[in-house]
Structure 1
Amino acid sequence: MKKITLFTALLLSSAAAFAQTWTVDKAHAKVGFTVTHLMVSEVDGNFKTFDAKITSAKPDFTDAVVELTADVNSIDTDNERRDADLKSEKFFDAAKYPTLTFKSTSFKKVEGKKYKVTGDLTMHGVTKPVTLDVVLTGPVQHPMNKKDIAGFKITGELKRSDFNIGPGMSTAVVSDEVTLRANAEFGKQ
């Protein structure tokens, strides 16, 4: 029995040793969201400052761990007054909760290049599980530096009320449903 346990431990540690880290190319990435304003128009925003990495030993990414951190103070909706309001205690309370984080707990292939990523999203001091859709492009070899790169298009929805964001704001003014979008190119290190 001890031999089996030792063998299993060695097998798991050798698999971890072959895991590759993929880092985000920030020049070719965007982390954004969309809400509906007054039930008629969509307002887009994004986080200008963020970091992300993916760790995976399998070439199809089915064992991937995705980690993202975004600076709430970098929120940008192309309107300074609205951005200041979003950073205030009425919404994100960036002074008290300056970062938003996501760490995946599973990355499962649905079919072809389509996946579902599930993980813990933390915003405004609240952590909740979310499941997002992922479309993988690549991996391919970068034509200039000859390193492997892969693209990930991530989409999904959540309710801002689940994270206590804008609790005093009527859903007739700003929708409770928030559409998430992230497009990112990652390079294998």
Structure 2
Amino acid sequence: MKLLSALIIATTFTTAAYAAPETYVIDVNHTKPVFSYSHFGYSTQMSRFDSLAGTIVLDRAAKTGSVDVTIDAKSVDSGFPVFNEHLQDEDFFDTAKYPTITFKSSKLKFDGDKVVAVDGNLTIKGITKPVTLTLTSMLCMPHPMAKKAACGANATTMIKRSDFNMAKYTPYVGDDVTLTIPVEAIQQ
């Protein structure tokens, strides 16, 4: 009887530990948000942001969690330094006045243990709009080099530049912008 009681108590604590929310810090070396748009219909242009910080909290047992990301808008990288400066001016990101872009989740959508979408609020140039990030993949497993639990995903959504007061050159330069976010995070 004592053995059975001890096993029940041990199982209860093990289950409680698994059910606890897990906090992951975004790996900035493997998380570079990319945005793409039509350039006069000739081609799809892509740029990225090189600097960000954020956390992801997952409670797979409760099917809840949160995502909180801050992007340094001055880290925009088009591959061309002069154009980077243009993207930072008032017509676009206006980084002198709005140095960061933020995303704060309101709900994670699960399919089993995997997150398949994240609803939240995206703020650019002080304007906040609801968006849904659709995850095209998600994997959580032990990181082979960090020797800690890690999760990674690819997320995508589409926004309109005009919704964020960045409509200069539309319709020639597309108003529709696809955001693609490859993200990796290490458990703390």
What is the TM-score when the length of structure 1 is the normalising length? 0.83
Per the TM alignment, residue 147 of structure 1 is displaced from its structure 2 partner at its CA by 1.0
In the alignment, structure 1 residue 135 sits paired with structure 2 residue 136: yes
- Give aligned-pair identity as a percent: 37
Task: Provide the rounded CA distance (Å) in 1 between the counterparts of 2:97 and 2:134.
Answer: 30
Residue 46 of structure 1 and its aligned partner are, at CA, apart by 0.7
Query: Structure 1 CA distance, aligned partners of 2:183 and 2:54?
Result: 9
Name the residue aligned to 1:35. 37
Residue-by-residue CA offset, 1:66-124 (whole Å, 9 max, x unaligned): 11100111100001121111100111111011100000001102578461211000001
- State the partner residue of 2:187: 188
Question: What is the distance in 2 between the residues matched to 1:112 and 1:22?
Answer: 16
* AA of the residue aligned to 1:171: P
Greater shift in the superposed pair: 156-165 or 143-152? 143-152
Distance 1:37 1:149 in 2: 37
| Structure 2: runs of 5+ lacking an equivalent | 1-15
**How many residue pairs end up in the alignment?**
172
Cα distance in structure 1, aligned partners of 2:168 and 2:152? 38
Quick one: distance in 2 between partners of 1:44 and 1:145?
Answer: 31
Q: Which runs of 5+ in 1 are unaligned?
A: 1-13
CA distance, structure 1, for counterparts of residue 180 and residue 89 of structure 2: 23
Instruction: Please give the alpha-carbon distance, in whole angstroms, between the structure 1 residues aligned to 2:146 and 2:175.
Output: 44
Q: Which moved more, 1:125-134 or 1:137-146?
A: 137-146
Shift, 1:55, TM fit? 1.1
Offset of residue 132 of structure 1: 1.4
Q: Aligned equivalents of 1:110 and 1:57: distance in 2? A: 13
SS at match of 2:86: helix
Contact 1:100–1:122 (CA under 8 A) maintained in structure 2: yes
Q: TM-score, normalised by structure 2?
A: 0.84
Residue aligning to 2:74:
73
Bigger Rg, structure 1 or 2: 2
**RMSD across aligned positions (CA):** 2.2
Deviations 1:138-174 (A, max 9, x none): 2111223431111111011000111111x332221x1
- What are the equivalent positions in structure 2 for 1:1-189 lying under 5 Å apart? 18-58=20-60, 62-110=63-111, 113=114, 115-165=116-166, 167-172=167-172, 174-189=173-188
